[in-house]
Structure formats: C-alpha cells, structure tokens
Chain A
C-alpha cells in the first residue's frame, strides 16, 4: 500500500473524536427539541449530516490502519464491525430525520446509535490502552515491600516483568505488536520480533533488549521511542543483570551483590508496613494491664509492646490478642507467664521480633513460633538448648537467634549453621581479651598513727570472688599470705602490703601503707613561727597547725594532698605539751621533698625539754645530710634522751637551694625561698 495512505491511517485515533462529539451534541439537541420544540431543526439535520460524514472518514482511516498490519484481525474484529455498523446507523438516522416520519421511533434509534458508538469507542480503547486500563487501581502489593527483606528472589517474575510491563508492553502486546514483537508473556519474549530473538543469554551487546535502550535517544532504533517513558539507569542495570546471568525465567538469585541490592532499593523503595488502627479502648486496657506500647511511626498503626509487670496472666494475653493484627514487636523478657501465652502466639500474624530472655520458655514451646512471621528472637537465659535451636532452625522467616546462655560448641554450631540461614549469637568467646590484671585493693584509712590499735579496711569494689591477701612485715604478699576478711586490726607499728587475687586474673599490683604505734598524743601546741600558703605566700589563717598532730600522713605528691601538709618558708620553732607522762625514745618528723618545686627536707633538728627547773634543755639533736633524690617522702628520726617531761620544744632548720638551682638565678629573686613541708609529728 501507498506509504502516504498508510500514514493517513494513523489519523484514525484523532479523527474518531469528531463523529463521537458531534453525534452526542446532536443527540442532546434532538432530545431537548423533543420535549420543548425550541431548537432549530436545521441545526439537528446539519449535526447528523456532519456526524455521518466524519464517521465515514473515520471508518475508512480505521480500515487503512488495520490494513497496515500492525494489528491482528482477531483482536480488532469487534471494533471493526461495530464501527461500520455505527456509521451505517448514523446514516440511517440522518435519513429518518430528514423524512420526519416518526419522532418516537427516531429517538429510540438515536439512543441505540449512541450505545453502539460508545461500545465501538470502548473496544477501540482496549486496542490502544490495553484491557487493564479501566480496571480500578490495585492496592500496592505488600510483596513489593518485602522484596528487599528476602534472601533470594525470582528476578524475572518479581523484577523484570514489572519493568517490561511498565515500559515495553504498552507497545508490544497481544493487540499491538510494533516490529512484530510482543512482550507480554514469556513465550512472546522468547519468540522475539520480526527480526528474530531479542536477547541472547549472557550477551548484553548482542541482545536488542539490552542494546536498544542504551542507544542515543535520537537514534531511530532507541527504545522505548522518544516521547515514551524511558528506562531508568536502575532498570537498565537490572535487565542487563538478568541477561548476563543467563536470562533465566525460573531460577532464583541470591541477594548478595551490593550493586544489585542498591539498584533494587532505588527501584522499589521500601514502603512502610501499616495496619488498621486498633480500638483505643483496647489500647487503654492494655496500658492498664501494664503493657508499655509504642506506635512504630506516624504512617503506621503497627505497635511494639513491652510487658512491665512480673506476671503476665491469661487476661493480659487476651488483652494483647486484641492488637494481634498490629503487634510487630513484643518484649516479655524476665516475665512469668503460662503456657496459654504460647498457645495463643500463633494468632499474632504480624509479630516479627520477640524478646523472651530469662523467661520460662522451653524447647517444646518453640513449635508455636512457626505460624508467625518471626524474624528475630532472643532466647538468652532460658532453658532452650541445642535441641531447641535445631528445631527452630527450620523456621521459614527467622534471621537472628540470640542464645547467649549457650556457650558455642564448635561442632554443634556448625551443625546449626549448615542447616539454615539463621545468624546465631552464642556466649562470647573468651579469646577477645587476654588475661586482665586485677585492680589493687583500695585502702580506706583516715589515719596512719594509733595509740593502742587501728582497724584497716579495704573498700569493696565490684568484682565477685576477689580475694585480698596481705602481710604486715613488709614482705610481698602472695596467695598464701593472710586473707583479708572485713577488717585488719593492727596492734604494732607495721608496714601493710596487700594484693588482689582471683582465678583467671593476673594478680594486682601492691597496695601499701605504713602504720605507726605512737606513745602518746599531744595535748597542746604553740608555734613561734607561722605557716604560710605555698601558692600565694599569705599567712595561714585559722587553725591549720593541728595537721601535724592529726594522726594522718599525707602522700608523696603534696599537691594532690595539700590539705595534710603544713608549709613553712622559714625556720620552724614550736613547743608541745604531751598528754601523758611517758618516756619517749625518739621523735619522728614526716616530711616531703620536691627540689624542683622548692620543697626541701629538714637539715637539722634540735629538741628541748622543760625540766624541773622550768628551763628548756637540749635532749636530742640531729643533722641530716642532703638527700640525692629529688622527689620523695621520708620519716626523719631523732633519738632523744627523754625523762617523762611533758613540755617539749622543737627547732627545725630546712635546707636552702643548692647553688645550681634555677630559682637562685631568677632575676627577680621572688621565688628564692625554700619550703619545709611537714605533715606529721610522731612521738615514739
């Protein structure tokens, strides 16, 4: 046939609107005229004539279109016959109207013709738009959401079909077969078009199915043709993927490739699951029954629940059943419940996550889990054992099982893993950490000096079965040394050393402290020189001097223990009254030293006692050579020749800076004074 004529055939879908429009308008006018007689009969005559004329042209064009061979006779048969009949009918009505025979008969005919014309249009529409066109939109398939939750999917059925239906089938179907190609069934796709197969397994270069969409859009073979909805990059990727993987219609593929998953995700965005809203009455009842509920999101009515009580009785389970269509997650860990709960469990048709840890669940209860779409379950701390897990491993939906009360035995674990795709969480292996060292015991003592005896305690810190062994003679404690139990009572001056021990742990470092039994307390004291603040040089206000007699010894780092020390930047002279009449052997000064900070130990000490003649007499003196080490804490012992005198006087001189010390070379000379830091005086 002539190209021009066949080209004209394409105007059929446009021209066909003329007869339909004009005929219906004329029908309207004729109807009004039938009742009111106020419209010009001439216009009705003209309308009918025009309708007939345009109907004839439409029919001819339609026939030409059919003859081009794009459409099968079978599929357009009804439309073709109806079209011709309608055209003739319009002509008949036109004739009848001109003769003005019977208005009633005319109106009946007219009505019939409108029905015929509508039918023609409908069947014509099916040819171009497909049979599904007028179907009410279907609800979104829930499977589409689950697509990405699957481990594997039938790529053709679940993905490729969706793409082809949307983008190819509108022009390649049972009724319309551009290029002789139909793509609405598997067979049709396999059969290919007039130029042969459209795909070759594993060859995306050769396959037209994958090649044509990638051609430039202005290329004449580009598919879908320009103006039609195009394939997206993801769709192209997925069709390529299908062809590359053998273009199989049946096989399932494993969802493992990230690129595949990524493209699927974009193409099938996850829609939120939703459910019908529950009754508020039921919800309020559940809250009263100690369930803590939460709605998953604004867009859904799915609910997560946690039972907050200790005992979940039958009525609570019944209350929960009221939201069985909404409940997606349930936490009944540490809860006591009856078997009844498990018997009803299969009713929860949406339940995906179940927390059962530390509950009374047993192996035989697990069968009740099979009816529900459970993906996640925590069974830690229950009686469930390997047998139970084996049973559960055939659950169709389960993905994660927590059972951390079970130590993972390699053998049994393999058995489980090979039989299912479930991820198991057992008790952690011990190989994560090496042996850890215990913390040393922490001493809880205020004082290091005592008169008769002193109780020493260790603060208990959070590890069970931690044993503390100690010695009082200065030797290193081991696991055979005395065991600490609640307290240690010390009666004599001693050096306490203690360590923590525990099986499976490395023993701790040593904690040590020295305790001194002194002869007597001090009743009163009087300082002739004043203590000053180390940091700003101001005179100590208030009664800080007791620090020397408070029975507690500071540690080496006097900055962190500043409150235990009494600092002096001059010679120290003071007198004391002893509480009891007793004979002392020696006097001990406890002092810190830190040469960089300007804190120096005593150089010489003189001790006087007031005898019966009320005069102070020298009863002991000692000079200490300067220590080499820079930072230390030391006891300086001065033996005395004491005869029960109660009133003593001490004169202590400290060391000045050695010549090399940077502070001496300081131009301002503001900081060239040394300090004596003393924290305790011991009367032994």
Chain B
C-alpha cells in the first residue's frame, strides 16, 4: 500500500502539468490526482509524526537517548560485578564444570592454565539501592540510585567488530541499519536543524592505540540515507565540509542550493529515484547546520559549576567528558539519538593499570551527565545507556601476578546500566554465578535489550520493519523479548 502511495505522490501536480501540458483543466486534474494519491486518507499521525512509519505504536516513556558505548569490552569484574569468590580462589584453575568447554579466542585457547583472577580493586555498596560499585567509579557510585544495572547481559559474538556491529545493528555481519537509523526511520526527528542521529568519538587515554571504529556502525544500511548517523568531530570543524569556502557568502550558498535543488528536482522527475529527494533534503539540512552546529558545539557558555561537575577533561575537545557535555547540549536541542563511543576498554593484559585510566576517563563525566540531565528535567524523557560489546573472562589471560593480569573477551556475561526515562531507578537485574562466568538468573540477550529500549520509545520491535530484498527486516531480527521487569 505504501509503495503505491509513494508512486502516486511521485506523480505530483507539477509532473502532471508538465508532461501533459494541460492548461487550467490540468491544474484541476493535477490537484485531483494528488488528493487521490494521499490527500484524503491523511490522518493526524500522517501529518504530525515524522518517521517513515509514523510511530510510536504506543505512548513512549523515552523520547531521546544517549548511548555511552564503551568500546573494547569493559571488565565487569573491576567495575560493577562484585565476585569475592574470585579473590578467594585466586590463581586456581577455573573448574571445567563452570566454563564447560566454551569456545575461547585465539588469545587464551592455547593457554595451559586458566587461573581465576579477582579484582584488585575494592568494592562497596552505595546508595539506598545498595548497589555494588568498585573504587574505580567514585562518581558513579554517588548516583547508583538513579541507575538500573543489568548484570546478566550476554551476546553471541566473541570479537570486537562483530560484537559491536551486533549491538548496533542487530547482526554480526555489517550492512544492516544501525540503532539510531532505525529510530530515525520509525520515529523521525524531533528537530529541524540538526540530524536526528549524532555520533561523538573519544579515545581512552590509557590505551590510545585501541581498535578503530568504523563509520558503518552509524550507517543507515538499506534505509534511506537520511537516517544515517552524522559524526561530529572535536576541534574547529565538527562536521567536515560544512563551512562555506572562503569568499562564498551564506547568500551565495543559498542561491547555489536553490539552483542545485532545481536541477535535482528535474532529475527526480525523470527518474523518480527517492535518493535524489534525500539528497536535496541533506543539502538543506547541511545549510541549516551551518548555523546550528557551531552554536551547539560551543561550550564556552557553560557555567563554571557545570564544567566542574563534568571534570576538567571537559575543557579539552574530543575527550569523553567534553562529549558528554555536548551530548547533553544536543539532547537539549531535541536530537533523538546521541551515540558516544569511548575506545580503549580492551584489557588483555596490564588490566589494573589500564582500566584505572579508562575508568578515570568516563566515571565523573558519566555520573555528571546523569545528574545534569536529572536537574534539568531531561532524564524524565531521556534514556542513558552505558556498556560495552561483551564482558571479560573471570580467569587471567597471560600470567597472573599479585598486581597484574589480563582478561580475555567473554560474551557469556557482562554488566551494563541504564538510567532515565521509563527505567526503574536503583535496581539491579539479573545475576551471574560465583565465578561471574555464567548467568544464573534473568538473562538479557542483546536483542532483548534492543527490544526493551525500543519499547521505551513506544515501538513494538516486531512491528518496526523494513522490506528489503524480498523480506522484512527488523533490528531484533526474529528474536528479542522486552524485559518488562526493569521498566517503571
């Protein structure tokens, strides 16, 4: 039905007039045609809701999301999943009954021993919710009553790229649309002057040579290119090629775009390729972004106490802290999906030292972001998600010493947390066994998490589909169940 509609609305009034060359009668016919195409069946949702699917299906708890992706696989054992047994049995081999011959990566599959390694960092319980947090996260431990920990996350992939791709697109193979693109497709943008899906990257200072991230992680896949994520860089030019070249005024640019749009319209009438219309829209968006982007990226108007709250890192463009402030500013400007990536969480060796640095990079700013959103009333409509692509093993990769060890990739258990709109605050969901190796209660698969997040946005994950190459695709593929227990 939709395709027929699109076809008819493509044959618009102008098309009709031009091709048939009718006079006044043509105008009448043209408008009649247009009405037949879409006019009459227009509903309230068609007019107002901007996504291609005119979602939400049901009333949303969350309107916006900040996804703080911790790339590399942060070790749950040093941050949130407290396992005293690992300290007690330190150095002993992990029992066969626990690891059950699970596949290991090439890093550890040839290792003779798999000695259990407990965290060298101390844990304490915080807040009214008595959540366990390690000493590496002194600031997050102050906001635990706003967080909902999921300690029973599990995934299918065991290596970085497939695992991140799985999290962001619902498939280990590249090519599907990313989370933010799906949202943009289903729900549309909340504002006119900025993209609805924006990506900000930062590097872990203690591990600057971490795995790279690929721009396809925020790609639109088979969805319209309007839905792709736009990366904002740090520094003087947040979006490349956005500035007018020297000697070109804004007025010149306007004229150029108008002429270009006219040419594109002609082309579109000839071929009817929807991507041509997308291109026009993207040019217009870029034009509006010439003023909206510098405004939102200039944090010099942030008051002192806010900068202090996010930490002094926030003064250096391109750091996680500075990206967190930007995320909040973008949310204030009604950007739907702000995705941060912080790299460097891949501690195969030298874990205690590196993870300390990683935690320092993100702890204060993550906590500050939640506090800041909360005081502004934004946390009531914004979801914050924090987590990596998988967890780490409870045994040491490489030699275990008193103050040094490493951990390999571990897809079977890891911890994430969410906060904000529609999520229960001060909750811990799911449990892992004493070795933190397997889930013993309430497992949450990546697809479950995706389905749950979509539910918060009023989307039935089974109904948000796109037909491509003869079948309907979903973010959650053919899986995913909503974890209702963590919804408020």
Interface residues of A (CB under 8 A from B): 272-273, 277-278, 280, 283-284, 287, 293-303, 306, 355, 376, 378, 380, 400, 402, 404, 425-428, 430, 432-433, 436-439, 461-465, 504-505
Nearest CB on B from A349, distance (A): 18
Determine if B376 and A295 form an interchain contact, defined as CB atoms under 8 angstroms apart: no
Is B368 a contact of A432 with CB atoms below 8 Å?
A: yes
Chain B residue with the shortest CB-CB distance to A299: B58
Contact with A along B19-62 (1 / 0, CB 8 A): 00000000000000000000000101101111000111111100
Q: Contact at A278–B44, with CB atoms within 8 Å?
A: yes
Stretch from B70-78, B160-168, B302-310 at the A interface:
B302-310
Write out the residue numbers on chain A whose beta carbons fall within 8 Å of the beta carbon of B317: 461
If A295-B49, A428-B375 touch, whether A437 touches B59 (CB-CB below 8 Å) is no
The CA of A301 and the CA of B371, in the complex, are separated in Å by 33
B364 touching A433 by the CB < 8 A rule? yes
Q: Complex Cα distance A184/B49, Å?
A: 48
Q: Does B142 touch A at the CB level, under 8 Å?
A: yes
Q: Contact between B56 and A297 (Cβ–Cβ < 8 Å)?
A: yes
Return A177 CB to nearest CB of chain B, in Å: 41
Q: Which 10 A-B pairs have the closest CB atoms?
A: A462-B300, A402-B377, A436-B312, A462-B299, A297-B58, A297-B59, A378-B377, A439-B315, A296-B59, A293-B48
Interface bits B172-209 vs A (CB < 8 Å: 1, else 0): 00000000000000000010000000000000000000
A432, B375: Cβ atoms under 8 Å?
A: no
Q: Is B380 among interface residues, defined by CB-CB distance under 8 A?
A: yes
A433 engages B308 (CB within 8 Å): yes
Q: Does B298 contact A (CB under 8 A)?
A: yes
Within the assembled complex, what's the spacing in Å between the Cα atoms of A433 and B59? 37
Which A residues are CB-close (under 8 A) to B374?
425
Q: A464 vs B302: C-alpha distance in the bound complex, in angstroms? A: 9
Contacts of A438 in B (CB 8 A): 312, 315
Q: Please tell me if the beta carbons of B375 and A504 are within 8 angstroms of each other in the complex.
A: no
Find chain A residues with CB under 8 A from B50 CB: 294
Across the interface, B142 reaches (CB within 8 A) one of A426, A432, A436, namely: A432
Given contacts A280-B42, A280-B44, contact A436 B375 (CB under 8 A): no
Q: Closest approach, in angstroms, between the C-beta of A507 and any C-beta of chain B?
A: 11
Does A376 lie within 8 Å of B312, measured CB to CB? no
**Is B458 close to A, CB under 8 A?**
yes
| A355 (CB) vs chain B CBs: closest residue | B377
Shortest B130–chain A CB gap in Å is 15
Complex formed: what's the CA distance from A376 to B379 in Å? 13
Contact A404 B458 (CB under 8 A): no
Quick check: A376 and B377 within 8 Å, CB to CB? Answer: yes
Candidates B57, B58, B304; contact of A464 at CB < 8 Å = B304
CB distance from B423 to the nearest CB of A (A): 15
If the complex has contacts A280-B42, A297-B59, A436-B311, are A430 and B305 also in contact, measured as CB distance less than 8 A? yes
> In the assembly, what is the distance between CA of A378 and CA of B381, in Å?
13
Most buried by A among B142, B315, B376: B315
Given contacts A298-B58, A404-B375, contact A461 B48 (CB under 8 A): no
Most buried by B among A297, A425, A439, A461: A297
Q: Which of B142, B304, B371 has the most CB atoms of chain A within a 10 A radius of its CB? A: B304
- Interface residue B98 (Cβ < 8 Å from any Cβ of A): no
Q: Is the CB of B44 within 8 A of A400?
A: no
Q: How many A-B residue pairs have CB under 8 A?
A: 111
Residue with the greatest number of chain B CB neighbours at <10 A, chosen from A284, A378, A432, A438:
A432
Residues of A within 8 Å of B304, CB to CB, are: 463-465, 504
Question: Is there contact, CB below 8 Å, between B380 and A294?
Answer: no
CB-CB < 8 A to A295: which residues of B? 44-45, 48-49
B residues less than 8 Å from A298 (CB atoms): 45, 54-58
**With A428-B309, A432-B371, A439-B316 as contacts: A297 and B44 at CB distance below 8 Å:** no
22 cross-chain CB contacts under 8 A:
A272-B58, A273-B59, A287-B47, A294-B49, A297-B56, A297-B60, A298-B45, A298-B55, A301-B44, A380-B377, A402-B375, A428-B305, A428-B309, A432-B309, A432-B371, A433-B309, A438-B312, A439-B315, A462-B300, A462-B307, A463-B300, A504-B304
Kindly state the separation between the CA atoms of A302 and B59 in the bound complex, as whole angstroms.
Answer: 9
Which residue of B54, B59, B190, B372 is within 8 Å of A272 (Cβ)? B59
CB nearest neighbor in A for B332: A333
Task: Contacts A298-B58, A432-B368 given; indicate if A462 touches B377 (C-beta within 8 A).
Answer: no
Contact with A along B349-378 (1 / 0, CB 8 A): 000000000000000100110011011110
Instruction: Quote the shortest CB–CB distance from A6 to chain B (angstroms).
Output: 51
Contacts of B57 in A (CB 8 A): 297-299
Shortest beta-carbon distance from B99 to chain A in Å: 36
* Contact of A462 (CB < 8 Å), options: B59, B190, B298: B298
B370 to chain A, nearest CB (A): 11
- Per the bound structure, the CA–CA distance linking A216 and B307 in Å amounts to 65
Instruction: Report A-chain residues with C-beta under 8 Å of the C-beta of B367.
Output: 432
Select from chain B the residue with minimum beta-carbon distance to A504. B304
Q: Is there contact, CB below 8 Å, between B308 and A436? A: yes
Q: How far is the CA of A253 from the CA of B319 in the complex (A)?
A: 50
CB nearest to A430 among chain B residues: B305
Q: CA separation between A298 and B299, bound complex, in Å?
A: 38
Q: How far is the CB of B136 from chain A (nearest CB, A)?
A: 16
Q: CB within 8 Å of A: which of B97-128?
A: none
Q: How far is the CA of A504 from the CA of B380 in the complex (A)?
A: 31
Closest Cβ of chain B to A650, distance in Å, is 37
Q: Given known contacts A283-B47, A293-B48, what 12 new A-B pairs fall within 8 Å (CB)?
A: A272-B59, A280-B44, A287-B47, A295-B44, A295-B49, A297-B57, A376-B377, A400-B377, A425-B375, A425-B377, A428-B372, A436-B311
| Given A425-B375, A439-B315, A400 and B60 contact (CB-CB distance below 8 Å) | no
Q: Which of these, A402, A433, A461, A504, contacts B311 with CB under 8 Å? A: A433
Do residues B371 and A428 form an inter-chain contact, with CB atoms below 8 A?
yes
Q: Which residues of A contact B55 (CB under 8 A)?
A: 298
C-alpha gap A382/B288 in the complex (Å) = 29
Q: By CB atoms of chain A within 10 A, which of B48, B190, B305 has the most?
A: B48
Q: How far in angstroms is the closest Cβ of chain A from B477? A: 23
Contact with A along B272-301 (1 / 0, CB 8 A): 000000000000000000000000001110
Q: Do B377 and A437 touch across chains, with their CB atoms under 8 A apart?
A: no
Q: Which chain B positions have C-beta within 8 A of A273?
A: 59
Give the docked Cα–Cα distance between A278 and B44 (Å): 8
Q: A295-B48, A297-B60 are in contact. Are A400 and B380 (CB under 8 A)?
A: yes
- Given known contacts A376-B377, A432-B309, A504-B308, A463 and B315 CB-to-CB distance under 8 angstroms: yes
Q: How far is the CB of B181 from chain A (nearest CB, A)?
A: 20
Instruction: Check B59–A300 contact: CB distance below 8 A.
Output: yes
Q: In whole angstroms, how far apart are the Cα atoms of A293 and B54 in the complex?
A: 13
A277 contact set on B, CB distance < 8 A:
44
Contact of B48 among A294, A400, A437, A464 (CB under 8 A): A294
- What are the residues of chain B within 8 A of A462 when measuring CB–CB? 298-300, 302, 307, 315
* A297 partner residues in chain B, CB cutoff 8 A: 56-60, 458
Let me know if A427 and B375 touch, CB within 8 A: yes
C-alpha spacing A400/B421, complex, angstroms: 14
Specify which of B45, B47, B56, B298 is in contact with A284 (CB 8 Å cutoff).
B47
Most buried by A among B47, B55, B59, B304: B59
B59: chain A residues within 8 A (beta carbon) = 272-273, 296-297, 299-300, 302
Smallest CB-CB separation from B191: which chain A residue? Answer: A292
CB contacts (< 8 Å) of A504 on chain B: these are: 304, 308
Chain B 127-157 interface residues, beta-carbon cutoff 8 Å to A:
139, 142
Q: Which residues of B contact A280 (CB under 8 A)?
A: 42, 44, 47
Min CB distance, B366 to chain A, in Å? 13
Whether B305 and A461, one on each chain, are in contact in the complex, defined by CB atoms closer than 8 angstroms, is no
A378 / chain B contacts, CB cutoff of 8 Å: 376-377
Q: Closest CB of chain A to B247's CB: distance in Å?
A: 25
* B48 A303 Cβ-Cβ under 8 A: yes
Task: Give chain B interface residues in 54-98, CB to chain A under 8 Å.
Answer: 54-60
Selected from B190, B298, B302, B312, the residue in CB contact (under 8 A) with A439 is B312
Give A103 Cβ to nearest chain B Cβ, in Å: 60
Task: Return the chain B residue nearest A326 by Cβ.
Answer: B44
Q: How far is the CB of B188 from chain A (nearest CB, A)?
A: 9
